[in-house]
Homo-oligomer: A and B are copies of this chain.
């Protein structure tokens, strides 16, 4: 049995780092993990309590494809609370994480062969999911001078049927303001293109809150997830908001492709949306805020100041081109000599990512502090070109 050509997706380059880190840990070394894109914390206690209470109360069979009505209502309520947007719960589709939402959105809007814009640097899986669906990802490079924010000009000029844009973005953590996001939406609307807004890092901001595409237009597709702010990556629960006219189409696709999102995760998500979870979630965010400052200060102290201070999420994307022209080798060297796992930029930008690294600060503050001390020492010891002069 032969593989299809659509199945030839690229491996994650960070996997090599993770495997090397695993081996180092198995050999007794202590590694600081600044490569992982997920909170170290569990789902908030009220979410776990809701699950515990339900376990013996209900058979927890398939739910309807669009998700539990109470959960769809609670998600709509979040739009009122966070953005002052009055969202009809009928437009909310509960999914198995934003990952399943991408599969639904891409199949809803694009036929095989369609060209879909993705930011470079950006979340690597967009590209691979598009490929697996026989769609053509079109990389739209963003520039360091603008904090790698997508511009309306870049979107307008590209030959694409639509685009998916994350704000705050992964790997940069930078955010579009209302005007910036509005210009992107207008650029797509004016050309009859699909605009998909990945809002998975909403809730995790360190200055102004993020703006939702739904504050600007109803004719957009918004994707979000309980993975990041709600600290529920492993539960696989997220959602999609589509224009009213598309709900039936997405419902049929979801019935067939997924049947439903995990029932137990829907129960947990309801718990996470309640008032009782708020203090814990805001405490997590305060930890990230402290970590963020440690990373910014540490990088500057090490003389690595070519990065945009992140507005949200839990990443810093730093230019290391002056140190090495090969982020893969640089990440391997940092792991070996400093015991810190970081992600080579190549995962996010196949063209220019050889000169960048992503540092994640999602873990506990003591880990991040230790990681930054190690990195500062590494860069100080290594001098301007660590790979040539390294200890």
Residues of A within 8 A of B (CB): 1-12, 38-43, 48, 51-52, 55-56, 58-63, 96-97, 99-100, 103, 107-114, 124-125, 128-129, 132-134, 162, 192, 194-195, 219-221, 231, 233-236, 243, 246, 249, 252-253, 255-265, 268
Contact = CB atoms under 8 A, between A and B. Distances in A.
Contact of A256 (B9, B111, B113, B234): B9
A264 B234 contact: yes
A234 B5 contact: no
A112 B132 contact: no
7 contacts: A60-B234, A60-B235, A99-B259, A128-B252, A234-B264, A236-B236, A236-B261
Contact of A263 (B9, B125, B234): B234
A124 B259 CA distance: 12
A235 B263 contact: yes
Given A1-B246, A103-B103, A265-B264, A6 B112 contact: yes
Contact of A249 (B7, B51, B52, B243): B7
A4 B265 contact: no
Contacts of A40: 59, 61
- Which are the 5 A-B pairs with shortest beta-carbon distances? A234-B263, A128-B256, A112-B134, A112-B112, A125-B256
